[in-house]
Structure 1
Amino acid sequence: MTAVTRLIVGETECQAQFEAEPTAFRWIFYREGTNVWIRLLELARGSDHDNKGTEIWSTQQDNDVVARAVIRCFDEVVSEDIEGTYRGKWGEHFPRTELEDLRTAWREHRGD
């Protein structure tokens, strides 16, 4: 969510990574105007350089579409009352602050 928030407020490139030890999945975001290009790489190790990864998915979307999709997914977690068991499953508290930061940024920067 933090990477998408950074895109919405105007950054042109950012990344997020999910560890599936030892494998890692790296999301690479590029923004130009209102367009966002997303690449998803699978890496043998999280410390590997992008060029060692295998691209398993890519897309080009409007930044508004990306923000709405991420917000919708996390809102679904809340609506299904999964938030209460989130920490037990993922070892972290539900990212409520990050979700609200993204929602606020999206509302303030729609159409940028």
Structure 2
Amino acid sequence: MTSDMRITWTLAGSGWADCTLEDRQARVELTASYITSAPEELLTAVARLLAGEPETRAQFEAEPTAYRWIFYREGVDIWTRVLELRHGGDHDNKGTEIWSSQLGIDQLARTMIRCFDEVAQTYGESGYRGKWGEHFPLTELEALRRLWRTYQHPPNDVAGTTDC
């Protein structure tokens, strides 16, 4: 499995962001507009995977192009597909796959947390709001971080209990 996935989120202008997704095999650049909650959707999708959902999605609108992230989970493995669509409302089968990868849920969560921690460090919350036009997705980032920590260190079983 690929272990060197990297995601960067760069505020490109008022209400616009560039998202670069790369690993050893490929590199793609996506654009997102603030007309939808792209960063919140992405962080929430990964949190849902950690919580056990077998499939989840996120979408970036680039007016009129859209980039749809589709995540599939089986055990600890995650398959990620990114489709480029001419219009955001198009069905998946009208999209062109521009990215696909497989990695562990732990790696995906760490990659996403690292990405948005770097965004927070680069812009700060007020700088982010000034350029993006919306608040930094702190609630979604912290929810993902909490789920990831729980995933990393599950609560210990109560002493003396047994599984039935």
TM-score normalised by length of structure 2:
0.65
Q: Distance in 2 between matches of 1:68 and 1:88?
A: 27
Percent of residue pairs identical: 64
The residue type paired with residue 138 of structure 2 is: R
Match of 1:17 among 59, 64, 73: 59
**34 and 83 in structure 1: CA distance in 2 versus 1, 3 angstrom threshold:** same
Which ranges in structure 1 are unaligned for 5 or more consecutive residues?
Answer: none
Give, in whole Å, the separation in 1 of the partners of 2:128 and 2:107.
25
Q: Which of the pair is proportionally richer in helix?
A: 1
Structure 2, unmatched stretches of 5+, are 1-42, 155-164
| TM-score (normalised: structure 1) | 0.94
Q: 1:76 aligns with which of 100, 109, 118?
A: 118
| Partners of 1:71 and 1:59 in 2: CA distance | 18
Contact 1:29–1:36 at 8 Å: present in 2 too? yes
Which of 79, 90, 97 matches 1:48? Answer: 90
Report the count of equivalent residues. Answer: 112
**Larger RCO of the pair (alpha carbons < 8 Å, separation 6+):** 1
Q: Kindly indicate whether residue 38 of structure 2 is the aligned counterpart of residue 38 of structure 1.
A: no
Q: Is the 8 A contact 1:22 1:45 kept in 2?
A: yes
Gap change, CA 1:111 and 1:32, over 3 Å in 2: farther
